[in-house]
Amino acid sequence: MSDFFNMNLLSRLRFTFISLLILSHLACSNDTDSEQTTTLRHTQIGWSAYNSGNFTQALLSFERALKVDPEFADAHNGVGWSNLSLSLSLQFSQESFQNAVKIDPTNADAWVGLANVLYLRNKNQTDFESAIRAIDNALQGDEQYLYRHDYFSKANLFALKAACYYYLRDNDKAKNEINNTLSLDDKNSTAIALQSLIRD
């Protein structure tokens, strides 16, 4: 009888242990799903605030998303654009964009942000060269991230490349990018201004 009792007890303990393992796994799985949902929600709120011009609220929302998931590339991207739009430190913007493309090299919008930071920083000619490479990476990246804000077509990207080439004093490549820009948008003010500067 005691052997039967011990076997029955052992069987119940195994069942209880396995049940607890399954429940703990399910609980962890739900936590992960909940964290992903929270991260996405904060990021969506951030982009909504950003697109309505509320860059401070956008920055707060993106930072909340990163507190939940520090590896969420588009939240890093949002922090970069928010800092840039608030005229905060270019270094912080650059770090945010670099974090985004390190986590997700296909995030075309983060590459465009990085190109803008490098162009604005213009410490030396390598900034312009790096900005051109960043634009090229953006054009090869995931298009779902492009044209959500601040720039609305490839024409804007070609115009930024043209400006970089202009400051690198490579007028032939600048003219080529101006032509690319104007073929897509014949009223692009950046391309028209650069065209005028090169003619003079």
Is the model more confident about 161 or about 30?
A: 161
Residue 191 in domain: no
List the single range of 7-11, 45-49, 54-58, 129-133 with lowest mean pLDDT.
7-11
Band of pLDDT at residue 88, cut at 50, 70 and 90? confident
Alpha-carbon distance 112 to 161, whole Å?
11
Residue 76 in domain: yes
| Whole-Å CA distances, 180 to 116, 142, 148, 154 | 19, 21, 21, 9
State which residues form the domain around 102. Answer: 2-116
Band of pLDDT at residue 149, cut at 50, 70 and 90? confident
Band of pLDDT at residue 8, cut at 50, 70 and 90? low
DSSP states of 137-187: HHHHSBGGGTTSSS--SHHHHHHHHHHHHHHTT-HHHHHHHHHHHHHH-TT
Residue 43 in domain: yes
Residue 62 in domain: yes
- Statement: residue 46 has pLDDT above 90: yes
CA torsion angle 103 107 112 117 (round to 10): -20
Residue 166 in domain: no
Number of domains in the chain: 1
Residue 195 in domain: no
Mean pLDDT on 4-14: 49
Residue 107 in domain: yes
Supply the pLDDT for residue 23.
Answer: 43
Per-residue pLDDT tens digits for 18-43 = 544 444 444 444 445 576 788 999 99
Supply the pLDDT for residue 34.
Answer: 72
Residue 169 in domain: no
pTM here is: 0.81
Supply the pLDDT for residue 2.
Answer: 52
Supply the pLDDT for residue 152.
Answer: 86
Q: What is the CATH number of the domain that holds 50?
A: 1.25.40.10
Per-residue pLDDT tens digits for 132-142 = 999 999 999 98
Beta partners for residue 92, in sequence order: none
- The proportion of the chain whose per-residue pLDDT surpasses 70, expressed as a percent, equals 82
